[in-house]
Amino acid sequence: WNLPGNAGTGVLPRYATRIAREELLPGDILLFHDPASPTRGSHVTIFGGWADAAHTAYVAYEQAKPYTRKRITPMAYWNNSDRYVAYRYQGLTGPAGMGAAAAAAASGFWFGPGAYGAEITRLGELLVARGGKRFYASGPGPRWSEADRRATEAFQRAQGWRGRAADGYPGPETWRLLRTGAGRDIPPPAPAAELASVPAYPGPGHFRPGRSSAYVTLLGAQLVKRGHGRFYASGPGPRWSEADRRATEAFQRAQGWRGRAADGYPGPETWRRLFARTGEGLASPPSRL
């Protein structure tokens, strides 16, 4: 809520308007204030979206020692449930012409594992209309699924976005393009012949210090083709070198990967993306790329 400072459960209502539980939207709060024990008996959760169609459970964000956690929680809480009150921040605003639900959707709160709502169905319908039908086995629905994430990622990548900008979770710009019909549609899947042109991944053993292989030359040549030739002083060769590792790392980081996922040693997904001319990538990298 971007409050000026720390606010306890007895102070938060000053910044909010009481609402019915049926009106809850992501970003609202459920607050239990016990005047007799404000620091030990009181509690507040941030509402993150309904977890079921019957609205008997929701995604709760809460501060619980020693860390903040997110979990599916029965409405309104595990104990003292009848004493929790729903509130909405008084300073909440949305883009012109948007309803509260659409504003919440544009904020990115609405979409993700455990989320449930009409806006998720609407998102899926918009994605299907923009070329994402192949990602849905049975059509869009109100519960967030991997199909929604993959279709969203494909749409984001169609705009030329990469890395975190194409993680499969719709932010304000993704939502705006879908709602207004702007931007580029999801392209059709790559022809089978094109997919077959990607050479099979030879295994990690070829890409280690001291190893020499034709696959190292092939990797280096493709890295140069993809714009990472600056790391080579005299061109790629068959012996694995630090230049190969640095060029591979640069390519991995260009996918938005970090840490161990961008260590400069090519795994199956790095290899696939490096040689594939089209196709959708993963929103987040697997453990070995």
How does DSSP assign 168-200, residue by residue? S---HHHHHHHHHT-SPPPPPPPPHHHHHTSPP
Is residue 286 predicted with pLDDT exceeding 60?
no
Q: Is 100-180's fold the same as 192-275's? A: yes
Nearest Cα to 277, choosing from 197, 201, 218? 197
Mean pLDDT calculated for residue range 102-116: 58
CB of 191 closer than 8 Å to CB of 162: no
What are the residue ranges spanned by the domains of the chain?
12-89, 100-180, 192-275
Q: How far is CA 121 from the centre of its chain?
A: 17
pLDDT digit string (tens) for 36-83?
A: 888 888 999 999 888 887 889 999 999 887 888 999 999 999 999 999
pLDDT digit string (tens) for 7-31?
A: 889 989 998 999 999 888 888 999 9
Say which CATH architecture domain 100-180 belongs to: Orthogonal Bundle (1.10)
Is residue 219 predicted with pLDDT exceeding 90?
yes
pLDDT digit string (tens) for 235-256?
A: 899 999 999 999 999 999 988 8
More reliable by pLDDT, 118 or 257? 257
Fold of the 192-275 domain? Muramoyl-pentapeptide Carboxypeptidase; domain 1 (1.10.101)
Confidence class of residue 191 from pLDDT cuts 50, 70 and 90?
Answer: low
CB of 115 closer than 8 Å to CB of 144: yes
CB of 68 closer than 8 Å to CB of 59: no
